[in-house]
A and B are shown apart, each in its own frame.
Chain A
Amino acid sequence: DQQVKQNSPSLSVQEGRISILNCDYTNSMFDYFLWYKKYPAEGPTFLISISSIKDKNEDGRFTVFLNKSAKHLSLHIVPSQPGDSAVYFCAASRYKWGNEKLTFGTGTRLTIIP
């Protein structure tokens, strides 16, 4: 039972344009959401997070939007850069604490076209 889903396994975006990665979840107990970036044969790197009490969080080129009623979140990257090419995972947890276990989505491979 995949509680966190990323329905687009891959996405290609022109450099300089906006990249939008989507994520859906089914467990209403999830209260905290994170996005990670991952290169092959490396561990994930934390990008940005959002608590369920918010609907938007912004950090530089990265913005995460949360629609709790739809159980949907998205990551916007603007402008997209070649170094953004990687696999992006969304993750969810019940609490906003680092020692709470994470449930990961299936990942979206983002390719930025120069």
Chain B
Amino acid sequence: GAVVSQHPSRVICKSGTSVKIECRSLDFQATTMFWYRQFPKQSLMLMATSNEGSKATYEQGVEKDKFLINHASLTLSTLTVTSAHPEDSSFYICSAPPGDRPHTDTQYFGPGTRLTVL
């Protein structure tokens, strides 16, 4: 099956710093990638839809200036948490449907990145 990787798997940073999380599709091209956030014991909440070659689409309530998304190639999307604060501590997960099969009925999820802001 299709594989999606994320890097890093875990990051701890100081308040006020910026953190970049990478999401890669390893064996397929993805014109669309999704970024989710999961707080402890809560649901996965969609943050934004990343589109290759164009601007990301953000969900209501998500600050686009704080969560910068770049989808520069068909295999890589990055999420940068700018000026991170402790309330940004969460589990961030990306997903992608295989671009060569855009009408496939599932998305493939990355393993997630645990962000802890001190």
Contacts and interface: CB of A to CB of B under 8 A. Distances in A.
Given A43-B109, A43-B111, A43-B112, A98 B43 contact: no
A98 B106 contact: yes
Contacts of A32: 105
B43 A107 contact: yes
Contacts of A49: 105-106
A53 B64 CA distance: 37
Interface in B22-53: 31-32, 34, 36, 41-46, 49
A43 B4 contact: yes
Contact of A97 (B46, B97, B109, B110): B97
Interface residues of B, number: 32
Contact of B107 (A4, A9, A42, A102): A102
A32 B104 CA distance: 12
B11 to A, nearest CB: 13
Interface residues of A, number: 25
A68 interface: no
Given A32-B105, A98-B97, 19 more contacts: A2-B43, A34-B106, A42-B111, A43-B6, A43-B109, A49-B106, A96-B105, A97-B97, A97-B102, A98-B102, A98-B107, A99-B31, A99-B32, A99-B97, A101-B34, A102-B34, A102-B46, A102-B107, A104-B44
Interface of B: 4, 6, 9, 31-32, 34, 36, 41-46, 49, 91, 93, 95, 97-98, 101-112, 114
